[in-house]
Structure formats: structure tokens, C-alpha cells
Structure 1
Amino acid sequence: MSSLTLRNLTKSFGKTDVIRGVSLDVEEGEFVVFVGPSGCGKSTLLRMIAGLEDVSGGDLMIGGQRMNDVQAARRGVAMVFQSYALYPHLTVRQNMGFGLKVRKVPAADIARQVGEAADVLKLGALLDRYPRELSGGQRQRVAIGRAIVASPQVFLFDEPLSNLDAELRVHMRAEIAALHRRLGNTMVYVTHDQIEAMTLADRIVVLRDGRIEQVGTPRELYERPANAFVAQFIGSPKMNLVAAEAVADRMAALGRPVPEGALIGLRPEHLQIVAPDQAILSGQLLTSEYTGADSLLHVELPGGDVLLLVHPGADTPEPGAQLSIGIDPALAHVLERPAA
């Protein structure tokens, strides 16, 4: 395994800047996840690390060695793609060992390495099957097995679970986390799903418009977001944002003065229905969404904005009810307004 270092990395397609001065240090054995909205540059950045996209500027180093102009096959990385990219006419065994065969590795060594990877991924009973005989989760494990067989310094994952159904994604998340604990390799993982990021990452890199907005552990990003963009991107349902002026008097009365002109972030899971004298906001319940253990309430504030509130249990007020909404002042986030 190796460290990964990006120094002021840039990527342009013609006059369009896609990656704009990204600097990042990934330690040996670390699991780092890139997240951000569509078009933020996360997959392009991963492909630059893999050697599938040229570097326009800056330095890209793996294990302390500059890799800007090194061919993809010589970088010591292995990539698992969104599509499984398995050869339909080859068995699982042949698919996993194909890269080694191309490199003219002796047959006995190929058999040993494929067998070891199959044991790690519990694919031993499937080695003689063809891709058409496998489920989606099994195909993805074969694709991961092909990467393991290559013995890379760094594993790269480009949205590997997006083609799976919800239940299988949960199962595969656990398998990838267990794989990292067992192998200990450096892993960089791209996803648009912030739940995947929160459950898998040692650290999360939040990207927007080709720049890093914040880097930190899942807990750091959830509890101490650097700005309003990160605050709303991390957490599900997303954080509510209200103007400080709307809650300043009530927050001050509860012992938490807020600066003028700021945004106040209120996570739906931290809000509660309270007595009027404990409220910071009030509004009319538009609708409630029952999700099992709790319900998601949509509350319209006097100015027309809609606040989301997670209400425990199955019993909820009727639509049209006037609700007083409170929060522990320590759980409110004071955030700067985004630049115009």
C-alpha cells in the first residue's frame, strides 16, 4: 500500500476548467471517499489518479513518486468501475485472472492469486460460472476480485454500487468495509450517495465545481460543517437553513445569541415539537411522511419556507395543525451566507 498526494492539481478540457487546484494527502491504508453533486469533478479526479485522464497542472504522487506522465498500467493502482466490465465468454476464474495472463504471469501463480482473492470475497463456489449466471452483487465482487488479484498499491472505486438495488447496496457496503479492514490497502472511493460516504470513509472529501469544500471524518463533517454547502450535503434529510433574523430573539432568550446576517442550520433530526415558550420557530404542518420508526414532517413557516422535522413514532399531528418547533441551542449551526 502507498500514500497518495495531490498538489494544486488541475484539469481543463479546452477552455473549461474541471479540476481547479485540488490539494490532498491520503495516508497509507486510509479509506477516503470523494462526494459531491453531479459535475463537481469527483470522477474526473479519480480518473486522473488512475492515469485515464491527463493532468493539466500540479503534481500527482503515489508512494512519493511523481506519476503525472506515468502510464496507467505502471502506477500500481486498480480501478473498480460502475459497470462490472466482465468478459461474458470467460468464467469468473478467467475474468479474475485475465490481467495476470496478459502480463504473462505463470499459470500456477495466477491460480494461487485468484484462489486467494476468491477466498477473501467468498467466490470459491462461483469460479467456474459465467457472468450471466451471477447476480449483480456477485458480478461486482468479481470485479473487485479482479482488482485484488492485481495486488495494487491503491484501490480506486468509481460509484461501484450505483447499479445495485437498495438492499444489495447495504450488503455490499458492509463487504467493502470488511475488505478494507482485511487488506489494509489505501482506497479512494467516489460516490454521489452521502450515506455510502458516511458509513465507509475514514475521511470524506466534499467537492463542488472542481474544488474541495471540506475534508474531514464523517463525524467532523456532520457536527462541524465548514459552510452551508457542506452542511446541506452531509446528512439525510438535508439540513434546514433559516436566516438568523428569523430566530435571533428566541435563540438569545434560550442562551445562544446568533450573529446578524448569518444562516442558522437546523438538522431535521434535532428539531422537536415543543411548548410555545420553548420554540424558536412556528408554522403550519403541510404533510407528514411515515417511514416506520418515525415520520418526516413538512412545516410551512410564515414566510413560505418549508422546514423538515423528524418526529419519532407513528403518531403525528394532522395536516393544517400549527406547530411550535424547538431545538437544543447547542445543536444549532451558525453558518456564513454563501458568497454572491
Structure 2
Amino acid sequence: MTSLSLERVRKSFGKHEVIRDIDLRIEDGEFIVFVGPSGCGKSTLLRMIAGLEDVTGGDLNIGGRRMNEVPPSRRGVAMVFQSYALYPHLTVRENMGFGLKVRKVPKAESAAKVAQAAEILKLDALLDRYPRELSGGQRQRVAIGRAIVASPEVFLFDEPLSNLDAELRVHMRAEIAGLHRRLGNTMIYVTHDQIEAMTLADRIVVLRDGLVEQVGTPKELYENPANTFVAQFIGSPKMNLLPASSIGGNLQLAGKRIDGQTMFGMRPEHLQLSSQADALLSGKLVASEYSGSETLLHVELEDGTIVLVINRAQQVPEIGAAVNLTIEPSLVHVFNDGRAV
């Protein structure tokens, strides 16, 4: 197992700076997820760790050694890409052992490593098949197996589940989490899907425009977002943000500075329908989305703002009905100038 540290790491393509002075430490055996919108720099940062992109500035250390100029093959990392990148003319066994063959690892040792990885990933019965004979999930397991046989100290995953359907993504998430528990290696995983980030990570690194917005456990980011960007990126459906002016003086929060720039954050699952006429928010129901265990309500306030509410009750108001909403004050997030207070 190996720790990593990034010290004021920067990356530029010409005059365009895509990674800006990132400081980050990743401990031995951690499962770290880089998450953020498209173009935020998460895949570029992963490729810098792998050695596939040069570091423009700062220091990248793996296992206490500076790696800025060290070639990828000597960094002790293995990468699993979004595309499976399997050789179509090679069997599963040959695909998994190809890197070992290139490095002239003895055949007996290579066969043992492939067999061990196949057992971990439940690929034993598929070793003599070709990629065209496999499902998408099986192909992705082969790609992961190819990384395992390299015996890396650090696993890097670049959106490995993006090409899979929704049901298979859920299954593969569980498999990757189980793999981390069994192997104990440091793992860094890139995704734009915050559900993947929440379910897999020991800690999440939220990126935007090449900068780290916040680092923390899934629970820390959900319960204490540092700013409105993190507040709306983490959690599904996203947090409602309402200006203080839309609520008036109905919400009193002890110890919180509230002024004309204040925004209140309320998660849809924390808002409740209320029969009280003097409830915190009032509006009309303009849409509802039934999903079995719950219904997502779209409530339009008097100023036209749409508020999302998760309703788990059996009865749902009719479209167009007037509704009142309330929330426990301790669950309200307060932001001034976009930052949590």
C-alpha cells in the first residue's frame, strides 16, 4: 500500500491552465474519488498521477518519492480506462497476462497471477473466451484483472462504468468496493456520477475548473457542504437554494448571519408537506414524479421559484393544488456569498 501527495500541482496546455495549485494527500489504502462536472480536470489529474500527462508545476509524490519525471511503468500504478481496451484476437487469459508477457515475466509466475486475479473477479470459467463472447460487465472485469496482475501499489480508475447500463453499473460498483476490501490497495477513482462517488469513496475530492472545492467523507460533504456548488453537486435530487428574501422573516436561525445576500439550502428529502397556513413556504404543485417508494414533487412558489420535495407518504396532492412546506430549522444550510456559514 502506498500514500500519495500533490503539492501545488499545476497543469497547462499552452496558455490554458486546467489544474491549478492542487494540494492533496491520499493515505495508504484509501479509496479516493475525484468527482466534478465535465471539464473540471479530474481525468487530467488522474492521468498526471499515472504519468500519462506531464506535470507543469509542483510536486507529485508516490510512496514518498517525487514522480514528476518518472515514466509510467516505474510508478507502481495500474489504470483501468473507460474503454475496455481489450485485444479482440486474444483470449481473456491472454489479455490479462499480456502486460506480464511484455515484461518477460516467467510463464509459470504469469499463469499463477492470472489465475489468482481470475479467482478474485470470478472469471475462472471465462479464461478461454474472446472479448466478443463477453458481456460489458465481464469485459470490464477483464480490464480490472489486467490491472490486478500487474501487482500495482495504486489502482487508478477513469470512469470505468460509463459504458454500462444502469443495472450493471450498480452491480459493478459493489464488485469494485469488494475488490478494495479484499486487496486493500490505494485506489483513485474518477467519475462525474455523484452516486458512484457517495457509495464508493472513503473520501471525495470535489473539483471545479481545475480547483479543489472540498475534500471529505461522503457524510461530511452531504451534511456540511463548504459552498453552494458542493451543496448542489452532492445529493440527488440536488439541494434547493432559496434567497432569504423569498422566505421573509419566517425562518430564524440562531447564530447565523442573515442579510440580503444570504441563500438558504434545503434538501428535498428534508422538506415536509404541512397543513399549517403559516408554514415556511407556500406554493402550488406543478408536477410530480412517482418512483414507487417515493414521489418527487415540483412546487412553484409565488415568485416562480421551483422547489423539489421528496414525499414518501401514500397520498399526494393533485396537480395545481395549493401546498405548504415546512422544515426542521437545524436541517437548513446557510450560505453568504456562496460560502457556508
Q: TM-score, normalised by structure 2?
A: 0.97
CA contact (8 A) 1:228 1:336 kept: no
Counterpart code for 1:111:
A
Corresponding residue for 1:43? Answer: 43
Corresponding residue for 2:141? Answer: 141
Corresponding residue for 1:259? Answer: 258
Q: Deviations over 1:25-69 (max 9, x none)?
A: 000000000000000000000000000000000000000000000
Distance change in 2, residues 1:255/1:57 (3 Å): closer
Distance change in 2, residues 1:273/1:256 (3 Å): farther
Alpha-carbon shift at residue 116 of structure 1 (Å): 0.5
Q: Deviations over 1:205-257 (max 9, x none)?
A: 000000000000000000000000000000000000001222251112x8786
Counterpart code for 2:203:
R
2:257 is equivalent to residue 274 of structure 1: no
Distance (Å, rounded) in 1 between the aligned partners of 2:30 and 2:186: 5
Distance (Å, rounded) in 2 between the aligned partners of 1:159 and 1:232: 21
Alpha-carbon shift at residue 275 of structure 1 (Å): 2.5
Corresponding residue for 1:184? Answer: 184
The DSSP-based 3-state class of the residue aligned with 1:122 is: coil
Q: Deviations over 1:144-186 (max 9, x none)?
A: 0000000001000000000000000000000000000000000
CA contact (8 A) 1:7 1:22 kept: yes
Alpha-carbon shift at residue 300 of structure 1 (Å): 0.7
Corresponding residue for 1:29? Answer: 29
Alpha-carbon shift at residue 284 of structure 1 (Å): 1.0
Hey, which bits of structure 1, 4+ residues long, moved more than 4 A? 254-258
Counterpart code for 1:316:
V
The DSSP-based 3-state class of the residue aligned with 1:250 is: coil
2:295 is equivalent to residue 295 of structure 1: yes
2:91 is equivalent to residue 91 of structure 1: yes
CA contact (8 A) 2:82 2:159 kept: yes
Distance (Å, rounded) in 1 between the aligned partners of 2:315 and 2:229: 33
Q: TM-score, normalised by structure 1?
A: 0.97
Distance (Å, rounded) in 2 between the aligned partners of 1:329 and 1:83: 46
Distance (Å, rounded) in 2 between the aligned partners of 1:304 and 1:248: 15
Q: How many residues align?
A: 338
The DSSP-based 3-state class of the residue aligned with 1:289 is: strand
Mind listing any 5+ residue stretches in structure 1 that lack a counterpart? none
Distance (Å, rounded) in 1 between the aligned partners of 2:223 and 2:279: 22
Distance (Å, rounded) in 1 between the aligned partners of 2:278 and 2:187: 47
Distance change in 2, residues 1:314/1:256 (3 Å): farther
Counterpart code for 1:131:
P
* Identity in percent: 70
Counterpart code for 1:28:
D
Distance change in 2, residues 1:53/1:257 (3 Å): closer
Counterpart code for 1:164:
L
CA contact (8 A) 1:31 1:200 kept: yes
CA contact (8 A) 1:154 1:185 kept: yes
Distance (Å, rounded) in 2 between the aligned partners of 1:79 and 1:208: 23
Distance change in 2, residues 1:278/1:189 (3 Å): farther
Corresponding residue for 1:198? Answer: 198
CA contact (8 A) 1:206 1:230 kept: yes
Q: Deviations over 1:315-340 (max 9, x none)?
A: 3111111111100110010112339x
Q: How does 1:146-161 map to 2 (within 5 A)?
A: 146-161=146-161
CA contact (8 A) 1:278 1:326 kept: no
CA contact (8 A) 1:137 1:172 kept: yes
Distance change in 2, residues 1:243/1:31 (3 Å): same
CA contact (8 A) 2:246 2:303 kept: no
Deviates more, 1:172-181 or 1:296-305: 296-305
Distance (Å, rounded) in 2 between the aligned partners of 1:98 and 1:275: 66
> RMSD across aligned C-alpha pairs, in angstroms?
1.3
Distance change in 2, residues 1:256/1:269 (3 Å): farther
The DSSP-based 3-state class of the residue aligned with 1:12 is: strand
